[in-house]
Amino acid sequence: MHKVIVVEDDRIIRRGICQAIPWGEHGFVVAGEAGDGEVALELIEKEQPQVVVSDINMPFMSGLEMAKQIKERSPETRIIFLTGYEDFKYAQEAVKLKAFDYLLKPVDSEYLLNKAKEAAADWEKESVKEKRIIESLPLLQQKFFQKLIREGDYRVDVENELLGLDVHMEGPFFAVILVKNTIELDLEGHLIKEKITSFSSSYFNDLGCLVMNADVGEHAILLSLENDQDSRKGELAKALFTYLSNEIDDAITITHGRAYPNLFEVGKSFLEARVAMDMRHIMGTGRVISLDETVSKCDKTENLVHDLEMKLENDIKSGLPEKVKETLIDLSTAIVDRKMVALSDLKVLAFKFSTMLFFEIEKWKKEDSTNSFNSSDVYKSIMELTTLTEMTNILHSLLEQWSTAMFKKKGNNYYSHVDQAIKYMQGNFHDSSLTLQRVAEIIHVSTPYLSNLFKMEKGFNFGDYLLELRMKKAMGLLGEGNIKTYEVCEQVGYSNPQYFGICFKKYTGFTPAEFKKKFK
């Protein structure tokens, strides 16, 4: 039965509407009646009727004012206004309030009943539609996360997808926590979601969070955080794990990704939490795991090829892609020779070094804006790899992207940074303040990187090359004969004549005076 409430200040008309119309025969029950808007509001808030039939012009509170408040207290209720010709001026306001209909008095009883039936049918249609949306929302949420895993955050318009799921988060930073259990029954899964939602919302009153269905037996908690290092993310994950472990007779694993400053980047945090979750068979189930912890764990994992792992790590940190390629080949060979490395260990190695290479690629992308990569695709490939060859192919692909981002700039060749450094030194060797650090800053590379690249290309270090430049110039000047030693000292970048004399003697075997006399 649908509820109808009649609001009319004229008692005779009100009683006629309530009693003369066979409401019960047409699926209605008169849930109440009132002579003014104030009294009616209490009834409407209590009964939540599908239909309200109301006069538009009443004392104390008009029908229009009542309708405004109904929209707040019972927004789904349909309102049918009754009015006389003299009150037709209110029609425009009634339209603005989205009244279901506006009927002129005197109204035919059968006509009013038909309008009430139309209003109830409209309410029913909207109610069914809303119910379907609510029932389908978990499936829509799962499809969103599956799409994110399949296509990656850079292909999916994450922000618009979330808005389409009616997700609104304030930020300024965003992160994701994943909760995994083995319960697949809809009812029990729904109860778990309610427990996660209730606990997460109450744990921190000011913490914005939303629980969504990520997959069967898996829920994603979207968090609004104050900053990218917000410790409450980890605290919530640990507290939620303790709570669920006591509440649910099932193994719970919780993971969380890093925090990001834009809602459209929350996909990265989910993918990081997803990778950490996929590592649970290595890291252990029934616990809390963070992405950073999986990398840390990799560092501590015992490996049969420990020395080469350390060398590979050092080569990456030193910024030497070619050396990394050589070491990776050696590492692969060592793994084949030992014949004892488990597939899970290969995935750990691939995850560890791909994470390090992601960092290097991101660092150098500023130098080559055309370079791009999708970490989610790589993570997915790592979790699906079955052979050593697949692992090395993944890392070699990342190495190529790193090399491209590092060295490809305006058509320069592999050693363009050394060439740029040498060119600058040849034009500025006379500057006594010239140092490796300064040259590195000029050509926009790190000091250790430039130092290593000098040795790799030239076979000697920066200081030896600068000394050679200065000494050759000094020898040329002294050979001219008509110049003072202190003048030569200043022109080749030395502020101390005595130190210049020591360096010159060490390089040539002669003091400046001896050289000048011998070769004049």
Own/partner pairs, 30-34, CB within 8 angstroms, 24+ separation: 30/4, 30/5, 30/6, 31/3, 31/4, 31/5, 32/5, 32/6, 33/5, 33/6, 33/7, 33/8, 34/5, 34/6, 34/7
pLDDT at 400: 84
Q: Please, which residues have CB within 8 angstroms of residue 427's CB and are 6 or more apart in sequence?
A: none
Rounded CA-CA distance 82/103 in Å is: 5
pLDDT in tens, 305-358: 678 888 888 888 777 787 888 888 888 887 776 655 667 778 888 888 888 888
Give the model's pLDDT for residue 469: 92
Q: What are 436-446's pLDDT values in tens digits?
A: 999 988 887 77
Q: Where are the alpha helices (H) located in 258-320, listed in sequence order?
A: 266-278, 280-283, 291-300, 306-317
Three-class DSSP category at 224: strand
What per-residue confidence (pLDDT) applies to 6?
93
The predicted-structure confidence for 222-252, as pLDDT tens digits, reads as follows 888 887 766 778 888 899 899 888 888 778 8
pLDDT at 259: 87
Q: Tell how strand 218-225 and strand 208-215 pair up.
A: antiparallel
Closest alpha carbon to 211 in 254, 177, 256, 160: 177
Q: Which of 313, 308, 325, 314 is nearest to 401 (CA)?
A: 325
pLDDT in tens, 139-163: 777 777 777 766 666 667 767 777 7
Contacts of 67 (CB under 8 A, 6+ apart): 54, 79, 81, 94, 97, 99
Cα separation of 453 and 462, whole Å?
10
pLDDT at 410 over 60: no
Q: Is the pLDDT of residue 301 over 50?
A: no
Position 273, amino acid = A
CA distance 232 to 127: 39
Which pLDDT score is estimated for 32? 92
How many CB atoms are closer than 10 A to CB 24?
10
pTM above 0.75, yes or no: no
Among residues 255, 272, 265, the alpha carbon closest in space to that of 225 is found at 265
Listed in sequence order, the residues at least 6 apart from 476 whose beta carbon sits closer than 8 Å to its beta carbon are none
The topology under which CATH files domain 2-126 is: Rossmann fold (3.40.50)
Q: Given a cut of 70, is residue 368 above it in pLDDT?
A: no
pLDDT for 266: 80
Q: 277 falls in which pLDDT band (50, 70, 90)? A: confident
Sign of the dihedral defined by the CA atoms of residues 237, 238, 243, 249, in that order: positive
The percentage of the chain sitting over the pLDDT mark of 90, rounded to a whole number, equals 11
**What mean pLDDT do residues 413-428 have?**
77
Domain ranges of the chain: 2-126, 152-287, 301-407, 416-519
pLDDT band for position 116 (cuts 50, 70, 90): very high
CATH topology of domain 152-287: Alpha-Beta Plaits (3.30.70)
> How far is it, in rounded angstroms, from Cα 369 to Cα 175?
26
**Phi-psi label, residue 211: left if phi above 0, alpha if psi -120 to 50, beta otherwise:** beta
Pick from 143, 105, 129: which is nearest to 8 by CA? 105
Look at residue 470 and tell me whether its pLDDT is greater than 90: yes
Q: Cα 105 from chain centroid? A: 60
Please state whether the peptide bond connecting residue 172 to the residue before it is cis, i.e. omega within 30 degrees of 0. Answer: yes
How, if at all, do strands 78-83 and 101-104 pair? parallel
Average pLDDT of the segment spanning 393-408: 81
Q: Any idea which residue has 């909207």 for tokens?
A: 126
Average pLDDT, the chain: 79
Exposure string over 181-198, b if 16+ CB within 10 A, otherwise e: bebeeeeebeebbebbbe
Give tens-digit pLDDT for 182-191: 665 444 556 7
Tokens of 404: 């491209």
Could you tell me if 261 and 172 are in contact, meaning their C-beta atoms sit under 8 angstroms apart? yes
Integer Cα distance of 340 and 336 in angstroms:
8
More confident: 450 or 44 = 44
| DSSP-derived pairing of the beta strands 28-34 and 173-180 | unpaired
Cβ atoms of 220 and 145 within 8 Å: the answer is yes
pLDDT winner (highest mean) among 130-144, 288-302, 370-384, 434-448: 434-448
More confident residue, 489 or 344: 489
As assigned by CATH, the class of the 416-519 domain is mainly alpha
Which three-class secondary structure state does DSSP give residue 320? Answer: coil
pLDDT of residue 414: 45
What pLDDT is stored for residue 302 in this prediction? 47
**Residues 122-135: tens digit of each pLDDT:** 888 887 666 655 55
- One-letter amino acid identity for 290? S
